[in-house]
Amino acid sequence: GAVVSQHPSRVICKSGTSVKIECRSLDFQATTMFWYRQFPKQSLMLMATSNEGSKATYEQGVEKDKFLINHASLTLSTLTVTSAHPEDSSFYICSASRTGGSPLHFGNGTRLTVT
């Protein structure tokens, strides 16, 4: 069964609104989670590393004020897309692993459409 749960799976919102995406590790504690973004027919691009109890580490070119990440507990990380615009429309997917030698387990992703 799934070990990482992501919600919602699909969201449509109006331009200017904010959207929160949740990522939960179901049967293990994850001090670190990762957020990826995937455009159609492209690869997964790492956006940020979410660290429990501390600030997220953002990849170059990713606006931290635009994509707010909160990792308040060992099983939950949230990504908030603030003041969303149509160019933010994409597939967002989170992941976590039990240990570094373990594979990353992925949520099922969130397809965001901003109208």
Partner 1 sequence: AQKITQTQPGMFVQEKEAVTLDCTYDTSDQSYGLFWYKQPSSGEMIFLIYQGSYDEQNATEGRYSLNFQKARKSANLVISASQLGDSAMYFCAMREGSRYSSASKIIFGSGTRLSIRP
Tell me how far the alpha carbon of residue 26 is from its chain's centroid. Answer: 16
Give the range of 16-24, 62-70, 77-85, 89-97 binding partner 1 by CB under 8 A.
89-97
Question: Does 113 engage in binding with partner 1 (CB under 8 A)?
Answer: no
Helices first, then strands: H and E counts in the chain? 0, 11
Chain mean position to CA 32: 12
12 binds partner 1 (CB under 8 A): no
Q: What does the radius of gyration of the chain's CA atoms come to, in whole angstroms?
A: 13
Single residue of 42, 73, 83, 115 touching partner 1 by CB under 8 A: 42
Name which of 20 and 98 has its Cβ closer to partner 1.
Answer: 98
Torsion over CA of 6, 12, 16 and 22, rounded to 10 degrees?
Answer: -10
* Residues making contact with partner 1 (CB under 8 A): 30-32, 34, 36, 42-46, 49, 51, 91, 93, 95-106, 108-109, 111
